[in-house]
A and B are shown apart, each in its own frame.
Chain A
Amino acid sequence: MSDIAAETLQPPYRNRGAAGDFLVRLFRGKPLGAAGAVVVLVFLVCGVFAEALAPYGFNAINPADRMQAPSAAHPLGTDNLGRDMLSRMLYGAQFSVIIGLSAAGLATVLSILIGVTTGYLGGRFDMLVQRMVDAWMTFPALVILIVVVSVVGPGVPQIIVVLALLYGIAGSRILRGNVVSIRENMYVHAAQSIGAGTQRILWRHILPNVMPAVIVLFTTRVGAVILAEASLSFLGLGVPPPAPTWGGLLSGSGRAYMHQGPWLALAPGLALTIVVFAINVFGDALRDLLDPRMRGSR
């Protein structure tokens, strides 16, 4: 009975695009987003296949070759210890892929869980959880990071978990605000009045309407996490040397030798900016395409 009712009351989000159809719309309608998608693809390939693509190891120290400008043998030059920059950049991409996708993914799941449930259910549950979120968010991120980094030692898994927690809980507030607005909409009231269960409403009505915000959140988070690691490296809390994360390369040898060897800063700096740019632009395009209300508009 409720199925028929739910079917009749079509929420204005129903989306049926096929994959091919999607790609066409992407490349034709959103050229910038398409360019972003290509860059993201290249980034992912570099990250996943770093071992195969890199001509040298990322820690092949060779002091005799130090500080060489880009050349045929070393397309991106060498650093102050003679390590090949191209290889280090490729391995850096791997770190960014792993840390970025894992942390952002975890964070987004967390944000959805907390934000949607508290936003919809409201009442005492909302109050309690929001107070806990408040308490968590008053912890300066730095303290948490230093505690974790000191107790468990610096490393990739710790950073992923901590960044996921930090961004996840913080992001839940955005989603909650969104949900608070959505739940007051007509169709939600209608669904409630015909007796649709909470789970159903969350799954079929709330969640899909929050999706645009979620997608934007995820894409900005990937970029933000990669940048956060860069900032952590600057403060000495990032993935420790000799790991060649882009943030570590930029804040370490990039800054220290920016006059003698500008390529040491240009490579990671440009890579960071371009990849974050691409991720965000692609995410925007994705959101625009997936939201049927946007489909018709120009």
Chain B
Amino acid sequence: MLCIRSVALALRATLLTSLVFGCGAAGAQSGKPQYGGTLEVGTVFVTLSALSWDPQDWNWKTNHDAGMFFEQLFAADLDKSVRKGGKYRFVWDAWLPSDAIRGELAERWEWKNPLTLVVTLRKGVMFPDKPGVMKSRELTAEDVVFSYERLDQSPKKIPTWFDHVAKVEARDRYTVLFTFKEYNAEWDYRFGWGFYSAIVPKEMAGVDAKNWRNAAGSGPFQLADFVQGNSQSYVKNPNYWDTEKIGATAYKIPFVDKLVYRIIKDEATQHTALRTGKLDILESIRWSAVDQLKRSAPQLKWSRWLTTTGQFLVMRTDRKPFDDVRVRRALNMAVDKQEIVKSYYGGNAELFSYPMRPDWPGYYEPLEKMPASVKELFVYNPEKAKKLLAEAGYPNGFSFKAQFTTASPDHADLVPLVAGYLEKVGVKMELQPMEYGAFLSAMTTRTHGPGYFMPRGHTNPTAGMRSFVTGQTWNPAIWSDPAYDRKMDEVYLTRDEGKRQKMLKEMVVEILDQAPYVWLPTPYVYTAWWPWVQNYDGELRAGSVRPGPIYARIWVDQEMKKKMGF
């Protein structure tokens, strides 16, 4: 067993070395891109199947699955990625820095006046032939207007999402006119590169749009097959309009013939599939599994990123005892967060990264620069915690019910850990495990709590802060501060990004101080891919959870793959 393995490894190492010397090029770019082949991906959401193929369902995940064929007005400018000499890694959940946005379907856009935006579309973007749905034709402004109105009239629409828009109309074949009632800083996020911005053809009105077989989009891939809970297969769109510049030449994309999303619910199976080359890319690998994979598949390439979903202990601030800020701060000080980073995550975590992430330049203020009152929430101090609790009227501590979900392996370990810390200051957590559906619905129906372990996405700077606005679905702390709500409204109205950043930073300090959550560290997560995956360096999203443009630019070095024995 051991013999075969070492021989195989030695062989591969020799071959790889000769390959590298033979090609003369090192690193991700090894010469002229090849066309063809299949790309098998275990995405960030490798355990989740598509929940909906119709943007009208207002489902957050549609961008991830349908974003391969439905395009948007704007997308990430992948030329600004680190591997191309830029400074961005494009691993954010749903954020794009203002200097890394390019027009996808939009060729250019300008503000005619503070409340009117004129968007000029690219010419020659074609919808494909789709029997039973449409004949191939060019995408026009009417499709953009149609897409917007279809979203606006959906029964599942988020009620306030388009409140800032007065009208969307087609001025001519390639020009769309947006008239706003008021400025909203999220305008390009809300209908541009965000979750709900897909441009669909007018012909969607006449067919069953929910049926994935009827999906027809202008994007680089088309949906070929959907086996629920198992795989999603996309084939190349031969008439795709975009090109990718590699070296001095502009190549038509996509390079690969076929793209497959594998849905694998079991973690051990995911790693096995990667190890044996059945997956070319696995985007989300827990830090504790990395060592083993590096040993058993040493040729894999790696990238590390801060996970975009953190876990927090939410405290219901509308009830005793958590309506008292001293109690909330006390619980924060009672948890040894440094030890969690060091021992529980083995160093693979960030102590302080919520609500603003370190990789949101301009929005993030590190802990050292925070006022003392915030800093002390991140220092383990059980004596001070007990003192605060006594001050608040709980000298002997208290007990409270804390809900978590049995579906999350994180919760299984993290929850008893936190419970252990709290018990040392006399606060007893009565753990109430819940099945995932029941767990989520407890939050939507506001029957959760008083303690609630919530997985929360670090979506983007404004969306993250929106969690604390009165009445939001994802505001399980039931935080309600009219002053805060007003500040949030003002942020939307502020055009100047610098000013917005300053305002948000103040709000961050305020909310951290108020501690509606027990702020917990956010772990790092790894992405791994085989060396034959070219023109790629671990980028994850080119929009809101939308990797389509990234996969369209990847080419598979099939010769290398064969030489390596796969």
Contact = CB atoms under 8 A, between A and B. Distances in A.
Whether A associates with B in a native complex is yes
B13 interface: no
Contacts of B434: 150, 153-154
A131 B469 CA distance: 56
Contacts of A80: 288, 344, 413
Q: How large is the interface on B (under 10, 10 to 19, 20 to 34, 35 or more residues)?
A: 20 to 34
**How big is the A interface, by class?**
20 to 34
Contacts of B409: 252, 256
A59 B416 contact: yes
B288 A260 contact: yes
A259 B292 CA distance: 7
Interface string A230-265: 000000110011100000000011011111100000
A12 B354 CA distance: 77
A260 B438 CA distance: 34
A66 B346 CA distance: 10
Contact of A154 (B406, B412, B413): B406
A237 B412 CA distance: 12
A64 interface: yes
A17 interface: no
A144 interface: no
A252 B413 CA distance: 9
A64 B288 contact: no
A157 interface: no
A253 B412 CA distance: 10
Consensus secondary structure, chain B interface: helix
A153 B434 CA distance: 6
Contacts of A237: 406, 435
Nearest to B345: A63
Contact of B288 (A81, A82, A153, A257): A257
B291 A260 contact: yes
Contact of A64 (B289, B343, B435): B343
B249 to A, nearest CB: 44
A149 interface: yes
A154 B433 contact: yes
Given A80-B413, A149-B435, A63 B343 contact: yes
Contacts of A63: 339-340, 342-344, 417
Contacts of B339: 63-64
B292 A59 contact: no
Nearest to A242: B416
A61 interface: yes
Interface of B: 267-268, 288-289, 291-292, 339-340, 342-344, 406-407, 409, 411-413, 415-417, 420, 431-435, 437-438
Interface of A: 59, 61, 63-64, 66, 80-82, 146, 149-150, 153-154, 236-237, 240-242, 252-253, 255-260
